Structure 1
């Protein structure tokens, strides 16, 4: 490939055609599994606060988050070795079985140590589930449909996040943890069944079995660090997610309190962000073509950096809501295009490890991003916190804009069209 040629995807077999009902079941069942995640951690937090107060909640949530983050790379290597569908189905089955164990274990007592153990096991299983589900789409649908399918998945994920916590609270009110975990058994079983029905291109990785797990992980990290497209796109996603997670979870509550808008104002801020992300996903789903994605991604990130900086001096509620909506749009555009690009530019035998790195960049760093934003807000104030988030996003945008490999990226569209 010469420097003037556009970046193209690796040559991979076309996924096996399958009926729409199977795809619809998969795209519906995956959010159901994510709702199960939300219900589980809400139930654990509620039980922990009764057993050990706020400190107990912190310990239990950390016990679930740390194994998920630390083992995500291992999970990606396992996915590349054994195949994503097999690992995704197994993960759902293991979580369903864990729910049955949790119902029995928590029937007599609910010590913090027991809750931490259950949360740690659940987090370790999640470290397998996320790379597996993230690697499925390129094996299920043609590359020309990846943007559309990934943004449908994004809408499902956001719906799951909105529904999971309220549903969990309702279940806890009606029947306690026993009912919540019983519903989770059904949710994870449904997800496993839907995944098992999918026809994927292959369930066996091209990676030779003789290669050790550590070596596989090192190979995945080396590829991510040396391949310019992957390196810069992952850097942008990591910095943008780090910035936005901190803003939403720390700066937004402080902003609503500082302006005297109260809890209702905070709710509107978060809702505006979610609406922006949903609108971006809908646009990408319905778009017939996406022109120059390699320029659109850094352009959107640069816009996000400007919007985050404008928060620092904004006091009018309508303006702040518009800015929150704008950040949601930026996040939706970047995530909705970057994931398909990573999936189509990554060799199939490395996809699980790359999606595990994407999971670390988005899910794994969330506790650190919230802690960093909270510290900056407390020590230097809201203005500095927003400028800090803006700077992180700007660095990611400039890294992508400076990469000729990223700028030349193309997305294949139906009927052989590319952009």
Structure 2
């Protein structure tokens, strides 16, 4: 009879709601993703309207990502020292003020490309603090055995808000008034900050984990890097994130040319191709919690990468739109499962005092490898073939499976432990 009661208790535990605090930060994160995508798309539109120089366009777009490489680790270390809720609110309100100043500058006609680059750089710099604070908050308001479900719901909603709604809304607002998208972003940032102000975030207990905090901010960064390096499973997921993003960026950077030149399809099909990838990713986000309960995170991570292998392989041999749509949907489905699995495992494994730093390490890997992958994909497409980036994707996904091969399931353990994580 005792095992039966244990199973019933486990079922009751898994059926409990995620709670109001989760839904508040869920709404805040979705609003931020939508607003950020509106802003980034509008920076490109405003820069193209101000200059025909492709170099300046690249500079402005690059300033939307460069702070992650320069300040991401420091932001994560700072957040681990600070009150997470206050750090999030301060960063988002600071970004809202900057968006307001940009609106005034656009209306006044005093914006040039150098000013746009500066605004993009500072806004993203504050975003590194906001995102690190969110990463550290979520496992504090959601039980660690529910992180996969929480990330599933969050990733699916962010995918819809960011990928499907953000860019077209940015274009529509920009047509009405060039400053309007930035005003909309200011509103989403204030909305997110007000929601997070109402979230009850438990304070750090310190104690046994106090030795993970060094005397200096750079010492904190070093401690976080050492922890990721020494944790076999988290390091494996980090390596896999790097190779996966490298390959994905190469394919995405050349996808429009692959669609139009290699397959000879109309340019409008490119939008449908992106929708196929995004739809597959959202489906993967939603399926991931059930799959995790059935097979465990280590197995699901490998299956997700296997979907990537098949998807990239189909792109290598595709000769029409149906094969391309299927390939991108499979690729997105694998990516959606992978994102939920890897994030839940890494957060479940990370000590509470290191959540900001570990999340920033993973973001640095993600944002650092993507530009390199896009550049490599462009070179390969020009020198070898427009199918070459997809071939690199096959190799990269196989390499990720090989890196993850040593991870094993431990039935009955929490997500981090099931994947062989040492905490």
CA contact (8 A) 2:153 2:285 kept: yes
In 2, the alpha carbon distance for the partners of 1:290 and 1:150 equals: 17
Cα offset, 1:413, TM superposition = 7.3
Please show how residues 335-414 of structure 1 align to structure 2 within 5 Å: 335-401=339-405, 403=406, 406-408=407-409
> Shift in Å at residue 300 of structure 1?
2.4
Output one character per residue of 1:80-129: Cα deviation in whole Å (capped at 9) or x when no partner.
11143222211111111111221233323112221111111112112212
Aligned to 2:123: 122
Deviates more, 1:60-69 or 1:251-260: 251-260
Give the conservation status (yes or no) of the 8 Å contact 2:71–2:128.
yes
User: Deviations 1:237-296 (Å, cap 9, x if unpaired)?
Assistant: 221122112212314542343211122221222111111111111112456824232122
2:187 aligns with 186
Distance 2:410 2:129 in 1: 30
Structure 2 CA distance, aligned partners of 1:397 and 1:28? 34
**Do structure 1's residue 168 and structure 2's residue 170 form an aligned pair?**
yes
**Structure 1's 110 and 394: CA in aligned 2 closer, same or farther, altered over 3 A?**
same
**CA deviation after TM superposition for structure 1 residue 188, in Å:** 0.4
Distance 1:226 1:210 in 2: 17
Match of 2:138 in 1: 137
1:31 aligns to what? 30
Q: Is there any run of 5+ residues in structure 1 with no aligned partner, and where? A: 1-16
1:96 aligns with 2:100: no
Decide whether aligned partners of structure 1 residues 266 and 19 sit closer, same or farther in structure 2, where only a CA change above 3 A counts.
Answer: closer
Deviations 1:203-246 (A, max 9, x none): 68765776101111111111111210111011112211221122
1:328 corresponding residue in structure 2: 332
Alignment of 1:8-407 (within 5 A): 20-53=19-52, 54-106=54-106, 107-161=108-162, 162-177=164-179, 179-202=180-203, 207=210, 211-285=215-289, 289-401=293-405, 403=406, 406-407=407-408
> For each residue in 1:295-333, what CA deviation from the matched residue of structure 2 results, as whole angstroms up to 9, or x when unmatched?
221232134224312321221422221111111111111
* Contact residue 204 and residue 353 of structure 2 kept, 8 A: no
1:409–1:234: structure 2 CA closer, same or farther, 3 Å change rule? farther
Could you tell me how far apart the structure 1 residues matched to 2:411 and 2:71 are? 32
Higher relative CO (Cα under 8 Å, sequence separation at least 6) belongs to 1
Give the alignment's TM-score, normalised by structure 2. 0.87
Q: Which moved more, 1:74-83 or 1:288-297?
A: 288-297
Kept in 1, the 8 Å contact 2:254–2:386? The answer is no
Query: 2: CA distance between counterparts of 1:31 and 1:253?
Result: 31
The answer to whether the 8 A contact 2:283-2:333 is kept is: yes
- 1:19, CA displacement in angstroms? 8.4
Give the 3 Å change call, closer, same or farther, for CA 252–413 of structure 1 in structure 2.
Answer: farther
The answer to whether the 8 A contact 2:25-2:199 is kept is yes
* Secondary structure in 2 matching 1:221: helix
List per-residue Cα deviations over 1:328-351 (Å, max 9, x = no partner): 111111111110100011111111
| Number of equivalences | 397
**Cα displacement (A) at 1:64:** 2.6
The farther-off stretch of 316-325 and 163-172 is 316-325
Gaps of 5+ in 2: 1-15
Secondary structure of 2:150's counterpart equals: helix
Q: CA deviation at 1:151?
A: 0.9
Cα separation, partners in 2 of 1:63 and 1:410, compared to 1, 3 Å: farther
State how far apart, in whole Å, the 2-side matches of 1:310 and 1:80 are: 43
Cα RMSD for the two superposed structures: 2.5
Q: Is the 8 A contact 1:92 1:189 kept in 2?
A: yes
